[in-house]
Amino acid sequence: MIGDYLDAEEAYGFYIGTIEVLFGNNTKKVGELYFWLAIYYYRDLIHLEKARLCFQKSYLILEEYVEDNDDRMKLAEININLGFLFKSQLKFQFSMHEFQKGMKIYKETIG
């Protein structure tokens, strides 16, 4: 199991690095990849700090590429995931802040 995890983590790193070389750093595709890497880290609850860093990097990149409602919804999704992540770490003020940011985006986007 540990070997599979390390292989997957290495593959994600290689894939992100390749995309950065081909398309440049901080492109929308790289932002999306960091989102999925964050989900990967978050799913087992033992790599929460890595998940947080990936969610935040994803947000910083993707907020530069907001063109439509789908893009806004992705930012809200990142906020909501960060809210759950902080909640699992018992950081309730941070959690509420992220939930509120996510809900604000949802309301502005879908009414």
- Report how far residue 109's alpha carbon sits from residue 57's, in angstroms, rounded to the nearest whole number: 22
User: What are the tens digits of pLDDT across the range 70-96?
Assistant: 999 999 999 999 999 999 999 999 999
Per-residue pLDDT at 2 exceeds 60: no
Q: Count CB atoms within 10 A of the CB of residue 3.
A: 7
Question: If you search the block for the tokens 């802040």, which residue do you land on?
Answer: 97
Closest by Cα among 78, 65, 55, 52 to 23 = 65
pLDDT-derived band at 3, boundaries 50, 70, 90 = low
Say yes or no to pLDDT of 7 above 80. Answer: no
pLDDT in tens, 15-46: 788 888 888 889 999 999 999 999 989 987 78
- 31, 58 contact by CB (below 8 A): yes
pTM, to two decimals = 0.86
Strands, DSSP E only, in 1-111?
none
Helix orientation angle between 69-88 and 28-42, rounded to the nearest 10 degrees: 30
DSSP of 32-60: HHHHHHHHHHHTTSS-HHHHHHHHHHHHH
CATH superfamily of the domain spanning 2-110: Tetratricopeptide repeat domain (1.25.40.10)
- 75 or 9: whose pLDDT is higher? 75
Task: Enumerate the domain spans of the chain.
Answer: 2-110
